[in-house]
Structure 1
Amino acid sequence: MKILGREPALLLGFAAAGLKLAAAFGLNVSDTQQTLINAALAAAVGVWLAIVAKDGALGAAITQLAQAFMALFIGFGLDWTAAKQATVMATIAATLAMWERTQITPPVSTTSLEQSSPIKPSAPRGV
């Protein structure tokens, strides 16, 4: 799996190193904020991979991305109570659950037991 022709881990490492370099040369971010930025970037890459892989994990990846960005915003000074954060995250989870329900189809049964019925209808008889 590649993003912009590169492996995701390589891009994340490059972003983390770039962030540390910027902080060393005057960008005013704390160690905690650097960690939160890296976590949000990792979550964004996770969503990208879920979209590309098409493995049905998109809803979970988006939920993780939302949690990472919530932590990022709180780390940069968003003053929300835990109740407000929980309400926002619950709304996101519920919305994704409703959306995913329309995207998922049950698998086709493949065993003979699943494809047959113990009570078979009787064949029509001649009149």
Structure 2
Amino acid sequence: MPRILGREPALWLTLVAVLVKLGSAFGLHVSTDQQALINAAAAALVGLVVALIVGDGRGAAVLGLVQAALALAVGYGLHWTADQQAVALSAVAAAVAMWTRTQVTAPVPAARQLPPIPAVRE
């Protein structure tokens, strides 16, 4: 795990949440909804970092991060319809699926090549 996270990624997420609350208490104009979105995006980012380091669940972590980032952007004024958001997330999911396909090996061998079928004579 990166040295910055050490062995306590949850502790760092708590620090982010407390800093957001502290900032909003002392002049940072952030609503409670925006605080929740910031915390969700931070959690998704840390989840992605942990998944990249551990090696499992990378695709799911990427999708979670993009979804959290999109929610954060909408919370801060991105004016996308639900359809636009769904299309954007679908595009990301397709890209992740294409990448995942290059990383996965089937547990069974490919079917053997069959000999060509002889031509039918009349």
Q: Could you say whether these structures have the same fold, taking a TM-score greater than 0.5 normalized by the shorter chain as the test?
A: yes
CA distance in 1, matches of 2:94, 2:3: 30
Larger radius of gyration: 1
Q: RMSD over aligned Cα, in angstroms?
A: 1.6
> Are residues 1:102 and 2:102 paired?
yes
Which residue in the other structure is 2:54 paired with?
Answer: 53
The 5 A counterparts of 1:62-101 are: 62-101=62-101
How many pairs does the alignment contain? 108
**What letter is aligned with 2:49?**
W
The alignment partner of 1:79 has SS state of coil
CA distance in 1, matches of 2:48, 2:19: 22
Runs of 4+ deviating beyond 2 Å: 106-109
Which residue in the other structure is 1:18 paired with?
Answer: 19
Asked if the contact 1:2–1:8 (Cα under 8 Å) also holds between the matched residues in 2, the reply is no
TM-aligned CA distance change 1:3 to 1:107, over 3 Å: farther
CA distance in 1, matches of 2:103, 2:84: 29
User: 1:108 Cα shift?
Assistant: 6.5
TM-aligned CA distance change 1:11 to 1:39, over 3 Å: same
Q: For residues 42-87 of structure 1, give each alpha carbon's deviation from its aligned partner in whole angstroms, at most 9, with x where no partner exists.
A: 00011011101112x1011100111101110000010011111111
**What letter is aligned with 2:86?**
A
TM-aligned CA distance change 1:108 to 1:7, over 3 Å: farther
Query: Unaligned regions of 5+ residues in structure 1, if any?
Result: 110-127
Asked if the contact 1:12–1:42 (Cα under 8 Å) also holds between the matched residues in 2, the reply is yes
User: 1:105 Cα shift?
Assistant: 1.3
TM-score by length of 2: 0.83
Identity of aligned residues (%): 53
TM-score by length of 1: 0.80
**What letter is aligned with 2:59?**
G
Which residue in the other structure is 2:29 paired with?
Answer: 28
**What letter is aligned with 1:87?**
V
CA distance in 2, matches of 1:15, 1:6: 16
